[in-house]
Amino acid sequence: MSSKPRLHYFNGRGRMETIRWLLAAAGVEFEESFLEKKEDLTKLQKDGSLLFQQVPMVEMDGMKLVQTRAIANYISTKYNLYGKDLKERALIDMYVEGMFDLNDLLMTYEVQPADKKEQHFANMMDKTENRYFPVFEKVLKDHGRDFLVGNQLSRADVQLLEIILMVEEFKPEIFAKFPLLQSFRERLSHIPTIKKFLQPGSQRKPPSDDDVVDKVMKIFYS
Ligand code: IBG
């Protein structure tokens, strides 16, 4: 029996949260090693565990996987969350690349310096409301199905739900404009593996508080 994947990152969302979501949605149990201080990162860098000296890193199937997208691709392929043919996969790729771009804006809000936060917030909400959410609302409207691609759960759905819930924390009233995203959120939240991940006590991470941001600054930016 192979051992559980082990995730190496700090104890917060950042770039690892999508990986946690995909594993959880696939019903895969995983273990985590949290970086607590700069020396924890230095140790992984020095012992050759990190191909580009960066985390996220996931130990899985005898590999030390790095690069968020590569890790997400591997997990999605392995657990059948990546469409049934080339064309579905191309659609999924387009959707999730948009989601990664939006997620980059959302996840970096917390680590913005105080004088940049307001501008960053305005930009990320503008992009959410006027660039990305209208696309996914339209996809659901046009085909009238439950899932974004191919009428079965894919990584695109999982990654969209992750983003919807993050945006909801920032600006819940936005969903009045996107009724299909609201019902999508409801529907997805009832899938048993996802329902479990949404319950308190799961490995899903909360928004980073000041202590986590402080730790992140010390580990990566000092
Ligand atoms: N392209 C890489 C990926 O997608 O995995 C980028 C990885 C990356 O930027 N990793 C950062 C790192 O290891 C930590 S996450 N830096 C050390 C170094 O020496 O480069 C950075 C991040 C934070 C908060 I902190 C929010 C989003 C990202």
**Atom 14 in ligand 1: which residue has the minimum CA distance?**
55
pLDDT in tens, 124-167: 999 999 999 999 999 999 999 999 999 999 999 999 999 999 99
Query: Which atom of ligand 1 is found nearest the CA of 107?
Result: 26
Using H for helix, E for strand and C for coil, what is the string for 151-201? CCCCHHHHHHHHHHHHHHHHCHHHHHHCHHHHHHHHHHHCCHHHHHHHCCC
Phi/psi for 65 (5° steps) reads -85, 135
Tell me, in angstroms, the distance from the centre of ligand 1 to residue 1's CA. 32
Q: Within 13 A of 107's CA, how many CA atoms are on the CB side?
A: 17
Phi/psi for 57 (5° steps) reads -135, 135
Q: Distance (Å, rounded) from C-alpha 102 to C-alpha 129?
A: 11
Query: Which atom of ligand 1 is found nearest the CA of 50?
Result: 13
Token pair, residue 206, equals 């909360």
**Atom 9 in ligand 1: which residue has the minimum CA distance?**
54
pLDDT of 216 above 80: yes
> Does residue 92 contact residue 149 with C-beta atoms inside 8 Å?
yes
pLDDT in tens, 97-110: 999 999 999 999 99
Tell me, in angstroms, the distance from the centre of ligand 1 to residue 42's CA. 14
| pLDDT confidence bin for 116, thresholds 50/70/90 | very high
Q: What is the dihedral of CA 57, 81, 61, 196, to 10 degrees?
A: 70
CB of residue 150 inside a 6 A radius of ligand 1: no
pLDDT in tens, 61-91: 999 999 999 999 999 999 999 999 999 999 9
- Most informative mutation of 19, 37, 46, 54 for ligand 1 (most atoms within 8 A of CB): 54
Query: Which atom of ligand 1 is found nearest the CA of 69?
Result: 4
